[in-house]
Structures are given as structure tokens and as C-alpha cells.
Amino acid sequence: MQARTVQAAMQGGKPYDIEYRIIDALGTERWVAENGQPQRDEATGAAWIDGIISDISERKHNEMRIQGLLAEQSAILDNVMFG
């Protein structure tokens, strides 16, 4: 998925923003946000991406906790209303 997104950005010359999960060298799961803008040297035809990759693990884990709590709350309310 990430490779296709970056490839499409390179072909279209458009910026991209993606989020994905990785496993670091210590085996820890991390979530990252990658933002990039394709660049091209008109003289040589060389292409590259100017961009940044940021660790968003804490935010993603908080989002997942919130989703879990909302699902739990919804299940409780369903049981109260229909139980």
C-alpha cells in the first residue's frame, strides 16, 4: 500500500500523506506518519522525495483505546436498552 501511494505520487508529481505500522529493530510496534513531495532535477532527470517520517505511536494507541472504550460503551447501552 505505501509503495503504491509513493509510486503514484512520484508519477503524478503530487504530495502524499500516509500512516502505517512498522516493527522497529528492537521488535517494538510503532506507527508512523510519512509526508512527502516528489522532486525532479530537470537537467539530469533524477527524481527523489523530500519528506519526513514521524513517530505517531502514542496518538494511534490513544485512538485505539478510545475506539475500544466507545465500542464497550455502545455494547453496555445496547444491553441496558434491549436487555
- Return the SS3 of 25: coil
Helix intervals (H) in 13-56: none
Residue whose C-alpha cell reads 441496558 in the numeric block: 80
Chain segment 7-54, per-residue pLDDT in tens: 999 999 999 999 999 999 999 999 999 999 999 999 998 999 999 999
pLDDT value of position 31: 97
pLDDT value of position 83: 59
Catalogue all structural domains in the chain, each as residue range(s) with its CATH number: 2-82 (3.30.450.20)
pLDDT value of position 69: 95
Q: Is the pTM of this model over 0.75?
A: no
